Amino acid sequence: MIPYFSREDVGPILHYLGKMIEGIGVLMFVPFFIGVLNGEWGPSIDFILSSLFSIALGSVFLFIFREEKDLNWRQGMSVVTLCWIVVMFLGALPLYLSGHYLSYLDASFEAMSALATTGLVVVNDLDHMSYACNFWRHFMCFIGGQGIILVALTFFVRGGSAFKVYVGEAREERIMPNIIQTARFIWLVSLTYLVIGSAILFSINLWRGFSPGRALFHAICLFMAGWDTAGFAPQSQNILYYHSYLIDLATAMFCLLGAVNFGVHYAVWTGKPRELLKNYELKLYVASILITFFIVCIGFKAPLPFPNFISFFRESFYQLISAHTGVGYSNIDTHNFSYWSPLAILGLIIAMGLGGSSTSTSGGIKILRIGILLKGIKKEVKIFTSPGATVVVEKFHHIRDIIIEDNHIKMAAIITLLYIALYLAGGMIGVFYGYPFLPALFESVSAAANVGLSMGITSPFMPAGLKLTYIIEMWMGRLEFFSIFVFFSFLLSLKSSE
């Protein structure tokens, strides 16, 4: 149970928030240097101003709230929730100054979409955006995919506070004995794959005739957004821009890797490849991909609207993988969903809603929770059909052997129901704004499950109320509710104590 808040909680929360704000200011120096290297003086000035403002704001927080204490659970979760909102507004500053967004709300939408690794875009004239701003969009995906808090754990947060903020960002598993070591391992995996993945994509781009500099830029951006299941791309046509089956194949592979539990990566890295065959969540994930793809396939009626089977498979399976991993990459134009039947669209909605693995860069309900619910049903059936004195034990292997307990089932059921409620609520709000139910539900699930596929609703010209709805859905979906509930409890406690 989370204890009651008091005004004494404000100081520690804002102290650690100040550290996070300073951190995001420091990270803005990366796109600043990219702007300088490319002679983009206007964007470079935008980034240095945004960076200095963020560092100054963080310093004010640290000056006023100087005392550093270990956070308790309620404080840690409140730091996480508040941090994501503040970082969204700060990350939006250089985007808005670029002139590619109609309003600061649009820039904030894009920043939250990047940080939450969603991939829904409201940018104008992306094809002519500066290298610095375009890189910042993708770099925010990389920061958010690992987790803003994971950055803090690596550099700023120590002691007993570490695990509180780690859990607050919807992570539970200690891959290594120490949370700081866990954070650093996740960064090691991500940076290693960044080098390998960027090299592969760089080679493909060079082979297709890109200049070396442009090939490298596209490679790094595509990998960061693919590995972190974000779905941003440097060009407005997304993956369709490249018209390359090699790019399709490479990005699909990175999406699948990014949607796998970091604990599984650790097992493979430490010489335990059999975990790939034994892991319950991974086996369910493969089964779920096959089932949802089957739904998509039967949704298309003969004759297929494709020149051949390879074209059909390349389009339909890529969208399915993109949906299920939560990456949001697309090798078709959004308007090309017009010849997808409602059943095929429903298959994508289910895939998006389910999402990828726990403790990965993917969003959605997570396959492990579905697996726990299935195990719970199996356990109840066994109890119902067994003699009264029988002790029923149900377990599964996920990094280690885990015995199913009632609290596992309860938590999985609560989170699953909350996601479904969020999906439906966003869909109904879309209907309220005049969109048909199925496209509105598709867009809502895409936002709340942090996917990024769109049927054309998301644009700079959609109603402001719908933009706010999707921002809230992306935020809640990324943090998986509980830290947000704790934060609102904090606000209500402060108000009631006045």
pLDDT at 44 over 90: yes
The answer to whether residue 407 sits within a structural domain is no
User: CA-to-CA distance for 11 and 17, rounded, in angstroms?
Assistant: 10
The domain of 187 spans 7-258
The answer to whether residue 91 sits within a structural domain is yes
Cβ–Cβ < 8 Å for 447, 322: no
The answer to whether residue 12 sits within a structural domain is yes
| Among 55, 53, 35, residue whose Cα is nearest residue 44 | 35
The answer to whether residue 269 sits within a structural domain is no
pTM of the entire structure? 0.89
Share of the chain above pLDDT 70, in %: 87
Residues 272-310 have pLDDT tens digits of 888 888 889 999 999 999 999 999 999 887 667 777 888
The answer to whether residue 127 sits within a structural domain is yes
- The number of distinct structural domains making up the chain is 1
Stated as kind and residue range, the H or E segment containing 446 is helix 437-448
pLDDT recorded at residue 419: 94
pLDDT recorded at residue 479: 84
pLDDT recorded at residue 156: 53
pLDDT at 20 over 70: yes
User: CA-to-CA distance for 496 and 498, rounded, in angstroms?
Assistant: 6
Cβ–Cβ < 8 Å for 392, 403: no
Local structure of 262: helix, strand or coil: helix
The answer to whether residue 288 sits within a structural domain is no
Cβ–Cβ < 8 Å for 369, 416: yes
The answer to whether residue 237 sits within a structural domain is yes
At 38, which amino acid appears?
A: N
User: CA-to-CA distance for 282 and 343, rounded, in angstroms?
Assistant: 26
Residues 171-213 have pLDDT tens digits of 555 555 566 677 777 778 888 888 999 999 999 999 999 999 9
Following DSSP, what letter does each residue of 30-41 receive, concatenated?
HHHHHHHHTT-H
Alpha carbon of 289 to those of 322, 356, 373: distances in Å? 11, 10, 18
CB atoms closer than 10 angstroms to residue 337: 19
The answer to whether residue 17 sits within a structural domain is yes
Residues sharing a CB contact under 8 Å with residue 128, sequence separation 6 or more, in sequence order: none
